[in-house]
Every structure is written in structure tokens, then in C-alpha cells.
Amino acid sequence: MKLLLDTHAMLWWWTAPERLPQPTLSLLSHAGTEILASAVSAYEVAYKHRLGKLSLPAALLGQFEQVVSQERWTELPVTVPHSLLAGSFPSDHRDPFDRLLAAQAVIEDAMLVTMDPAFASFPRLRTLWS
């Protein structure tokens, strides 16, 4: 199984795992699960931290790549196909972070781990929050 973490799911894994549903925690902990960590989430975290909308431990912000590597997650860069799909989704959803994460999940054939109901408007996107 391949899972792409929405930014809030990633942050909760690191800072408040009790906020994640137990079945989701089990899947994230399973050795056979491939977990993708998007460059979009790194950008969103840095951007919202700079704006004062998100406080994080300095180690998470300053060592994002190392923390992802220690988790044995796969870094997922943003590619041209991701960007083109994100920009062309028929959804009226305006959040560019969400649009890119949705496109990445579709193209990479991964389930997006999110509790955000706004993702329901994206065609072909499979989500997980149980």
C-alpha cells in the first residue's frame, strides 16, 4: 500500500500521534506501507511557520529532510505532470497546497491520508482517514 500524507497528518504523526485514528496509525506503522512525504508539505510548513500560523519544534523545520529520511519515508518532489494536473482539476478548491497534494496522490497511485473533507471534490482521488 502506498500512502501520501497530507501536511496535517504528517505533523500529527510527529507531534501529536494520538490525533490520528488507530487504524491509520497501524497502516503508517506497518513495514509493508510505502509512505510518501511531499515537497509540497515542506513548503506549506515553512510558509505557514513564516506567517506565524504554525509553530513547530526547530528541529522539524530545520531538518525536514533528515526527519523524513529517519522515518524511512520516500521524498516526493513536485513534477511537471503533478503541476499540470493540479492546475487543471475541475474542482473549485482554491488551496494550491491541497491541489498539488491531490494531483500527486492521483498520479502516484497513492491514497491521501487526510481528514479534510474538501478533498472529496477532486476526481479520481482516494483518501484514507479511518
Domains with residue ranges and CATH for the chain: 2-13+34-128 (3.40.50.1010)
Taking the C-alpha atoms of residue 47 and residue 129, their distance in angstroms, rounded to an integer, is 25
Task: Write down the residue that cell numbers 523524513 correspond to.
Answer: 68
SS3 78: coil
Q: What is the DSSP string of 5-64?
A: E-HHHHHHHHH-GGGS-HHHHHHHH-TT-EEEEEHHHHHHHHHHHHTTS----HHHHHTH
pTM, two decimal places? 0.93
DSSP designation for 73: P
Consecutive H or E run containing 112: strand 111-113
- Report the DSSP pairing between strands 127-128 and 111-113: parallel
What pLDDT does residue 107 have?
98
Tell me: the pLDDT tens digits for 74-125? 999 999 999 999 999 998 888 999 999 999 999 999 999 999 999 999 999 9
